[in-house]
Amino acid sequence: MTLARAASVILAKELRTEFRSRELLGTTAVFVLIVMVLFSFTFNPTSSESRRFGPGLLWLGFLFAGSLMLQSSFLREQTNDTLAALRLAPIDPFSILAGKMAANFLFLLIVEVILLPVFAVLYNVAIFPVLGQLLLVLTLGTIGLAATGTVFSAVAAQARLRELLLPLLLLPVLAPVLIASTEATIGVLGQPSELSLVWLTFLACFDVVFLTAAWMVGEYLLEE
């Protein structure tokens, strides 16, 4: 069974599980919303200030929410030890990681896309003219978040205090993504809107480096 096929079967299962209850998506979206509202109390959201501070706070919100949401990725597999069931199957262990990374990427992206209009309204930013570019930045940043987060979720699942541990591990490592995504978003939302090739290429590099690292060492995390 090829890696891609096994990963897509696992992806389908993750999607089915989540869409049945939608509890993870819903809770995460609400969390980011709360973060956005709270942040808006910390400065005066006039138009120009919003454009400067808003994107950073938006991405901070995504990172915090993401690091909480990603916990469940491997914790879910600990009830009933379904991780063992996955490892019993004649599939490449990396396909388990790959399927979950893809699922987490989609979940995070969905939350982000839902909250984008809310962000636009709360901070008085015009997103529709630059929607395509925004989505590009969102995608590249979220790939890094999902890939690294899924691997670290597997790491944290083997330790104590995992609720605290995952953000502790993830946030420092993702600092470059925060910087790059924020800067790129500010550029896109600026007047005139500009798409920073440097930051986008950087994000793409980050994604490639960490996806490769995950591919090479990730499966060791699943061993017993």
Q: Which residues ranging from 117 to 176 are in contact with other proteins (CB under 8 A)?
A: 148, 151-152, 155, 158-161, 165, 168-169, 172-173, 175-176
Nearest to 222 by CA among 105, 96, 81, 103: 96
User: What's the CA gap between 209 and 193, in Å, rounded?
Assistant: 29
Least distance in angstroms from the C-beta of 60 to other proteins:
15
Burial of 162 (0-12, 13-18, 19+ CB in 10 A): middle
Which of 20, 41, 42, 132 contacts other proteins by CB under 8 A? 20
User: What's the CA gap between 184 and 200, in Å, rounded?
Assistant: 7
**Which is closer to other proteins, CB of 20 or CB of 42?**
20
197 is a site residue for other proteins (CB under 8 A): no
Close Cβ partners of 23 (under 8 Å, ≥ 6 residues apart): none
**Which is closer to other proteins, CB of 45 or CB of 176?**
176
Which of 75, 89, 136, 195 contacts other proteins by CB under 8 A? 89
Q: Coil, strand, or helix at residue 34?
A: helix
Which of 4, 26, 34, 81 contacts other proteins by CB under 8 A? 81
User: What's the CA gap between 102 and 143, in Å, rounded?
Assistant: 9
Distances, alpha carbon 219 to alpha carbons 59, 140, 141, in Å: 29, 24, 23
224 is a site residue for other proteins (CB under 8 A): yes
User: What's the CA gap between 209 and 203, in Å, rounded?
Assistant: 10
**Which is closer to other proteins, CB of 112 or CB of 183?**
183
Which of 85, 126, 131, 208 contacts other proteins by CB under 8 A? 85
- Residue type at position 131: L
Which segment (62-70, 82-90, 107-115, 121-129) binds other proteins by CB under 8 A? 82-90
Burial of 56 (0-12, 13-18, 19+ CB in 10 A): middle
84 is a site residue for other proteins (CB under 8 A): yes
Least distance in angstroms from the C-beta of 124 to other proteins:
23
**Which is closer to other proteins, CB of 75 or CB of 89?**
89
* Helical ranges in 76-130 per DSSP H: 82-88, 93-122
Q: Which residues bind other proteins (CB under 8 A)?
A: 1, 6, 9-10, 13, 16-17, 20-21, 79-82, 84-91, 148, 151-152, 155, 158-161, 165, 168-169, 172-173, 175-176, 179-180, 183, 198-199, 202, 205-206, 209-210, 213, 217-218, 220-221, 223-224
